[in-house]
Amino acid sequence: MRARTVKVTPLRQNCTVLENPETGRAVVFDPGGDVPELLQVLEGLTVDAILLTHGHFDHAGGADALREGLARRQNAPVALIGPDKRDDFLLRSIVEQAQAFGLYDLQDAHPDRFVEDGETIALPGLTLEVAHCPGHTPGHVVFISRDDKLAIVGDTLFRGVVGRSDFAYGDHQALITGIKRSLLSLPDDFIVLPGHGLPTMIGEERQNNPFLI
């Protein structure tokens, strides 16, 4: 699969598209907003699913609208697969979260289903492992493709830092424990695709990330 990143919302969230250039099939992670632009980028591809790492507005605020737009274009339902259900309260307060940032074009997200720790999601040409990695939000998950040697990690791990946990529902210790369990257990050569900023590698973070030493 080939990974492509589209920056969405004024927070420049990395909406990741994994596409198979041979089959034209794709999966979209964290469509936080800018749905018309995303629909343009996805033109010509068949999207099999939309997946969410967690319930923050900049990751999930465009999910319902993208599902609707794709379903119309593809003439078939497109699955919106949520994070762990412990983030449902956030998915249902996206309009409120976004308004606090002066954004009025995002929507609450209503996944077709939630995922659980240890689950495997089988999509055409793509197998994803799910790991619950709480601390930034209670229901945050990361998606791992062993075949493609990559992890889509939302706001858990970034190049040289870790995600914020200074929310009422945040938990720094849980975040560090979760990253060590779910991500640092992967081989050094796995690519990490975070929700903001540049990609990194597991080995790089294992060696140099001051929060994980």
Q: Is 20 exposed, middle or buried (0-12, 13-18, 19+ CB in 10 A)?
A: middle
Minimum separation from the CB atom of position 56 to Zn ion (A) = 3
What distance in Å separates the CA atoms of residue 69 and residue 60, rounded to the nearest whole number? 15
Q: Which is nearer to Zn ion, 48 or 155 (CB)?
A: 155
Which part of the chain contacts Zn ion (CB under 5 A), choosing from 8-16, 41-49, 50-58, 90-98? 50-58
Instruction: State the nearest-atom distance from the C-beta of 2 to Zn ion, in Å.
Output: 25
Dihedral of CA atoms 197, 191, 117, 141 in degrees, nearest 10, equals 10
Q: Which stretch binds Zn ion (CB under 5 A): 2-10, 51-59, 73-81, 177-185?
A: 51-59
Window 174 to 213, contacts with Zn ion (CB under 5 A): none
The DSSP letter of residue 113 is B
Binders in 141-160 for Zn ion, by CB under 5 A: 155
Query: With respect to Zn ion, which residue has the nearer C-beta, 155 or 205?
Result: 155
Among positions 56, 67, 86, 132, the unique one binding Zn ion when judged by CB under 5 A: 56
One symbol per residue from 1 to 40: x for binding Zn ion (CB under 5 A), - otherwise; what is it?
A: ----------------------------------------
Q: Closer to Zn ion by CB, 85 or 149: give it.
A: 85
Least separation in angstroms between CB 141 and Zn ion: 12
**Considering only 5-13, 42-50, 52-60, 67-75, which stretch makes contact with Zn ion by CB under 5 A?**
52-60
Please list, residue by residue across 166-180, b when 16 or more beta carbons sit within 10 angstroms of its beta carbon and e when fewer do: eeeebbeebbbebbe
Min separation Cβ 135 and Zn ion, Å: 11
Length of the chain as a residue count: 213
Distance spanning both ends of the chain, measured CA to CA: 32
| # binding residues, Zn ion (CB under 5 A) | 2
Rounded Cα–Cα distance for residues 191 and 97 (Å): 30
Asked if 87 touches Zn ion (CB under 5 A), the answer is no
E strands of the chain, at which residues?
A: 2-8, 13-20, 25-29, 46-51, 79-81, 120-123, 126-132, 141-145, 150-154, 157-158, 161-162, 191-194, 200-201
Place of tokens 């970034």: 158
Sites of contact with Zn ion (CB under 5 A) = 56, 155
